[in-house]
Amino acid sequence: MQTLSLSPADREDARRVAAELRVRWELDQRLQPYRHHRFDHHASTWPQLHLEDVTGIPFLDDIVGIEEYQHRARVRAGSRDLFAASTTPVPGYEAYCQTSLKLGAPRLLLAADDDPRAIARACRTPEALDHLSAHARAARGLTIHPYMAIETVWELAEAFSNHADMPCAVLGPPPPILWIANDKSHLSTLVEDVLGPEWIVETLRASTPETIANALSELATRCDRVGLKRTRCASAMGNLVLDARKIRNAPPDEVLNRVRAFLTRTQWSEGEDVLIVEWVETDLSPSTQVWIPPASEGPPRLDGVYEQLLKGPEKMFLGSRPSTLPEALNQRMGRASLKVCDTLQHLGYVGRCSFDFIVSGDPNSPDAHPQITECNGRWGGTSTPMHLIDRLFGQPPTARPDYIATDFYLPESHRGMTFEELCDLLGDDLYSAEHTRGSFVLYNVGPLAELGKFDIIALGDSPARAKANLEETLPERLGL
C-alpha cells in the first residue's frame, strides 16, 4: 500500500473541526487533570510498562480466563520494558518469545487484584510501585503503554510519580479524548463534522426505552434492517440486529418489550444514549490501523488497511488479514481515517487507533460506498498481530507478508494440550526469526490448557497460501 498523507486543505479543515469541538465539549478544562502525565518526546526515551487492562470494555467480567489475555502485552514489550500480568506465562512461552521470535527479554511484573481484569489497579500496591521505581531509576522516568488509556491507568501514573518522585507518562489519550473515540455516539458526531454525513449510516439517538422504541419504529419505515448499538461495547457484544419488516408489523408494546430485553441484556444504565442505526447488509467490513503521535512530532500515520473476519448477523470479530480490496478503495478509507485522526490528534489524542468500515456497492467501482461504523481507541484484535508481524519482518510498506490472524479452538478431544505440546506438533512450521522461515506465529496462548484456545498468525507468500496454511496445514499438523 502506498504511503498516504493529507493535503494542506484537509489538515486545515481537521484543525478547524478540532477547535470547534474543543469548545463545544469544554475539553480544555476537562483535560487539565491529565496534563502532568501527557506523553511527549522526553517520555520516548523511558522504559515502558505494557499492560492490558480491559475494565473499560463492558461484558468481559464473566469470561473464564480473561486474566490470561494480559499476556498479549508481551507482544509490545522489548528488553528495556516491563509487562504486567496477574498470572505467570504458560511454560515455554517466554522462551519461545525470546528464542524463536527474538522479541527481547522484558521483565514481568506480577500483580493481582480482586478483579482479575484490573491489572492497572493491581500495579498500585507498594510492592509493585517499588519494583517499577527500581526499574525506571536509571532513566529517571517511566512510560505506561496500556491496551486502553482508561482512568485507572492515569491514576497509576500519578501513584508512580508520587511514590518514585520521578515523571511518568501515559502513551494514550486522556479519558475525555479516549471516550470521544470509543463512544459510538461521540464518534458519529466527529465523523459527520469532519467528513460529512455520507460517511456514517443513518443514526438516531435516544436515552429512554420508550424513545428508543419510537426511533426504532421510525427508522424501520425506511430501511430493510435496523440495529441497536450500545455506545461503548466491543466486538459486537452490544449490538442487536432486527428485520425492519417485523418491526413495522409489530404492535408498539412488542417493540418496546424487545428494546427493554436488549437494555437488560446489555446492562444499560438509565439515561445512557443508545444508537438506533440503519444496518447495511454487506460482507465487506474492512478496518484501518493508525498510529497518532503527539502533534509536535508529525501527523498521524496509516499503518495498514485490513479485512476483518466476522461471524453472524451482529458481525462478531474473529480475525483479520491485510486488505485484498482494490487499492483505490483502500486509499479512500485510509485518507478518511487520517483526516479523523488529524482532528483527534489536535484534540489531544496519542497512540493506537483504528476504524471499522462497511462497504456497500461493488468494491471495484468508483461508486463503492465506504462508511465508518466504529472507532477503537485502543489496541485490539487486528493491531496486536499487525504489530507483532512488524516486529518480526520490519516496518511496512514493503516488508509485511500476507497473513491471517485469528483465534483457534481445539476440539474437546484435544483439550488440555500444553503450549510445549502444541509447539512440538507444529514443528518446523513454527516461524523462526533467526532462520526467517515457517508458517505460523503463536501468541495469547494462556487460555490453551483450560479452554483449548490460542491465537495464531498463518503466514503465506500470497493471501491464498496464508488461507491454505490456516485451513489445511494447521489442522493436518494438529492431527484434526
3-state secondary structure of 379: coil
Question: Rounded CA gap, 227 and 208, in Å?
Answer: 16
Give tens-digit pLDDT for 268-313. 888 888 999 999 888 899 999 999 999 999 999 999 999 988 776 6
Global pTM?
Answer: 0.93
Give tens-digit pLDDT for 435-480. 999 999 999 999 998 899 999 999 999 999 999 999 999 999 999 9
DSSP 8-state code for residue 473: I
The whole-number pLDDT of residue 319 equals 87
As a whole-number percent, the residues of the chain with pLDDT over 90 amount to: 84
DSSP 8-state code for residue 142: E
The cell numbers describing 301, all together, are 500515520
Instruction: Give the distance, in angstroms, between the CA of residue 10 and the centroid of all CA atoms in the same chain.
Output: 26
Long-range CB pairs of 29-33, under 8 A, 24+ apart, other chains included: 30/176, 31/174, 31/176, 31/177, 31/348
Question: Rounded CA gap, 389 and 383, in Å?
Answer: 10
The whole-number pLDDT of residue 2 equals 67
The cell numbers describing 221, all together, are 419505515
pLDDT at 316 over 70: no
List strand residue ranges (DSSP E) for 179-254, in order. Answer: 203-206, 225-230, 239-243
Long-range CB pairs of 265-271, under 8 A, 24+ apart, other chains included: 266/58, 266/59, 266/230, 266/233, 266/237, 266/238, 267/58, 267/59, 268/230, 271/207, 271/208
Give tens-digit pLDDT for 18-62. 999 999 999 999 999 999 999 999 999 999 999 999 999 876 666
The whole-number pLDDT of residue 266 equals 86
**What is the strand order of the sheet 203-206 is part of?**
203-206, 274-278, 225-230, 239-243
The whole-number pLDDT of residue 434 equals 93
pLDDT band per the 50, 70, 90 thresholds, residue 397: low
